[in-house]
Structures are given as structure tokens and as C-alpha cells.
Structure 1
Amino acid sequence: MDKKLVGGVFSNADNAEKAIRDLQDIGFTKNDISVFAKDDSQVDKIEKDTRTDVDSGDDSKGSKAGKGTGIGALSGGVLGGIVGLIAEVGLLAIPGIGPIAAAGPLATTLAGLGTGAVGGGIVGALVGAGMPEEEAKEYEKFLKAGKIIVMVEVTPDQQDQVYSTFRTHDTENAAMYR
């Protein structure tokens, strides 16, 4: 069965985390869920809570390499409790947005594309993942505004469950891609 990409936009990490927990409760795994966020105010809190440093590419900070990603990664992260739920989180420098925290299979793909591809921005990465360009541009706007983006790979029969889960946790946008 072909998988599709369902995206949700959250205003805070708590709602995103609750949505991810509910998704996992109904059978989704860290291999199905990707998260992107830009909220500089969360970095200090999460570093304190997880006792880790966010690797910004500065050698004076911790730098545990992510699995094959070539980016700084950590067991804590900008996304709070979400990190323990889905994957290591890395920071990517995205033109026009700045550093974003990214986790999950789409994040790993983006990081694996290298600096040149990342230089094309988040729009290029999302379009490459099968999202229509206009909708990818909307997600870029959400990231710039400090929102948290949760993307889930689903089969057609799982789509409504994900939409319902996102709505339960106050998503600002739930759309189908790929």
C-alpha cells in the first residue's frame, strides 16, 4: 500500500508531544513520525531539562554525531519530551528560517542530502518528500512563526485516525500529502 504524508501544526511542544504519544498508542512508530520546530526560547529549557547541549556547529558545545546524518544530534533537544518518543534530534541551518530542530525519517533524509540541499531550504526538502510546493511554503511560514510541525507517514486507512489525533491536540493545520 502506498503511504502518504499527513502534517499537523502545533503551537506548543506539549500538544505536539501528546499527539505523538497518542499516535504511538495506535501503532505508529518513530519510523513513521517526523518533527520540525524553530522555537529558540525552548532551547534553554530543554538543555536544562535533559542536561545536554544543543550542537549548533560550534565546537565549544557537545557534538554527538547523529546516525549517518552528519549533523549535531542529541538525546535531549529543542522538542522536549518529543525527543524520547521518536528519535535523536539534530539542528539544521535552513536559509530564511535559521536553525531548526529536526527529528524522524524526513529529518534524517534532509540532513543526509548535505549542505547544498539544505541550502535549498525546507520547501525544497518537503517538495522532495512529495508535498506540493504551495503547501510546503505554508509549512515554511509556520516554522518561521515558531510552530512545531509533525508529519506522519500513513496508509489510506490510517489517515482519519491521524487527522482525529491532530485535531484532539489542537493542530492548526492537518493536510494530506504525497
Structure 2
Amino acid sequence: MTKVTISRLFDDFADAQSAVRQLREAGIPEDDISVIANNADKWYAPDLASGAGKGAAIGAGLGGFGGLLAGLGLLAIPGLGPVVAAGWFAAAATGAAVAGAAGSAIGMLAEAGVAVNEAEVYAESIRRGGSLVSAKVPAGKKDKFEAILNPSSVDIAIRRNELAAAGWRGFDPKAPDPTADEISRHRGRRGAGPA
């Protein structure tokens, strides 16, 4: 059976959590689902100090999906800052962190199956506090699984246009980290335009 990768961006980590749960309930195996999120610990475990504790707390918050979400770990990715990742994103993110090369976030996302023309917008949105869920699904059922992800996800074309209108010209791995207030505003959009 041929599989294709589908990916959706979420401004709210709770929406990403729901998407993962719905994919599992629809029959997608854990090994075929991947998540990468920036600052997700702020939603579920703001008082935990260690990176391992943060990943474990997020995994517990996502709950009940065995190895995939129990494997969430905190990583530092050039250009994205501290992120949590599970599934094939975790392996790709580890490789990007080891490489340490400028722009490695884009390459990491592209290698993980994210369309290259969308990777820049995804990377910028993750940097600003977003979450990306990707799944490898049967090609013949792609529409079914996209319908699961679409309701609370960000329209990536609109996000690109809104970022550009606000002066963004492309993903810059050397850009300063967004402030907590900027991340909070970004998360609060729930799929709307950038702050």
C-alpha cells in the first residue's frame, strides 16, 4: 500500500493533541504519526524544570498513545529553539541539532516528508510557538485523513500571506527568539492571521 505524508499546522497545542487522538482513533498507527511543537510545555507543565520532565509531561498530557507520545523529548533545533518532538520528527530533529547548520529546520522538515514549499512557513510558525502534526496515510484515503486535520488547523497559504504582509521575507534561523508575549499572541489566534 502506497502512503503519502499529510501535515497540518496548529497554533494551539491542544488542537494538535486532538488531531493526534483523532488520527489514532481513525486507525493510523503510532509509527505513522509525528509531532513537533515549540514551547508546548507552557500549556501543560509550566513548572517543570528539566527537559526530560517537560517531554514526559507533554506525553502524559497527550495521553494513552503508547510509544509515540511517551517518546516526546526536548531538543534544541537551530532556528527553532527548544522544541518537543515525537515520531520521525524526533529522529530528524536530533539529526538537525547534531548538524547545527543554519537552515537545518527547513531541511529537517523536508526530510520528514513536509512539502518543501511549506517547510519555511511551518518552521517560522513552530518558532513562534506552533505545533506541526504529520501522518503517513494510505494514498487512497488521503482526503479522509486530511478532513480530520483540517477543522482546527492553520491555512498555510493564508499564513504565508499574513506573515509576508507583516514584513516576514522567509525563515531566518538567526532571527531572535520571539518573546513570551509574542508566542502567547500567536497561540491565541487559533488559525487566524499572525500577531
Q: Give the TM-score, by structure 2 length.
A: 0.66
In 1, the alpha carbon distance for the partners of 2:76 and 2:123 equals 13
Would you say the 8 A contact 2:35–2:86 is kept in 1?
yes
Structure 2 residue identity aligned to 1:91 = L
Match status 1:92 vs 2:75: yes
In 2, the alpha carbon distance for the partners of 1:11 and 1:163 equals 17
In 1, the alpha carbon distance for the partners of 2:82 and 2:102 equals 12
In 2, the alpha carbon distance for the partners of 1:25 and 1:118 equals 38
Unmatched runs of 5 consecutive residues or more in structure 2: 158-195
Structure 2 residue identity aligned to 1:81 = G
Kindly state the Cα deviation for residue 113 of structure 1 after the two structures are TM-superposed.
Answer: 6.4
Residues 90 and 154 (structure 1 numbering): CA distance in 2 closer, same or farther, change over 3 Å? Answer: same
Q: Kindly indicate which of the two structures has a greater share of residues assigned to strand.
A: 1
Residues 74 and 10 (structure 1 numbering): CA distance in 2 closer, same or farther, change over 3 Å? Answer: closer
Structure 2 matches for 1:1-178, cutoff 5 A?
A: 1-39=1-39, 42=42, 45-46=44-45, 48=47, 53-55=50-52, 74-77=55-58, 81-82=61-62, 84-85=64-65, 86-87=68-69, 88-111=71-94, 115-116=98-99, 120-168=103-151, 170-173=152-155
Q: Kindly indicate which of the two structures has a greater share of residues assigned to helix.
A: 2
Structure 1 residue identity aligned to 2:153 = T
Would you say the 8 A contact 1:23–1:162 is kept in 2?
yes
CA RMSD of aligned residues (A): 2.9
Would you say the 8 A contact 1:94–1:118 is kept in 2?
no
Q: Percent identity?
A: 28
Q: Give the TM-score, by structure 1 length.
A: 0.72
Structure 1 residue identity aligned to 2:135 = V
Would you say the 8 A contact 2:75–2:94 is kept in 1?
yes
Question: What SS is found at the alignment partner of 2:123?
Answer: helix
Question: Which consecutive segments of 4 or more residues in structure 1 shift more than 6 A?
Answer: none
Residues 166 and 19 (structure 1 numbering): CA distance in 2 closer, same or farther, change over 3 Å? Answer: same
Would you say the 8 A contact 1:52–1:75 is kept in 2?
no
In 1, the alpha carbon distance for the partners of 2:127 and 2:80 equals 6
Aligned residues: 154
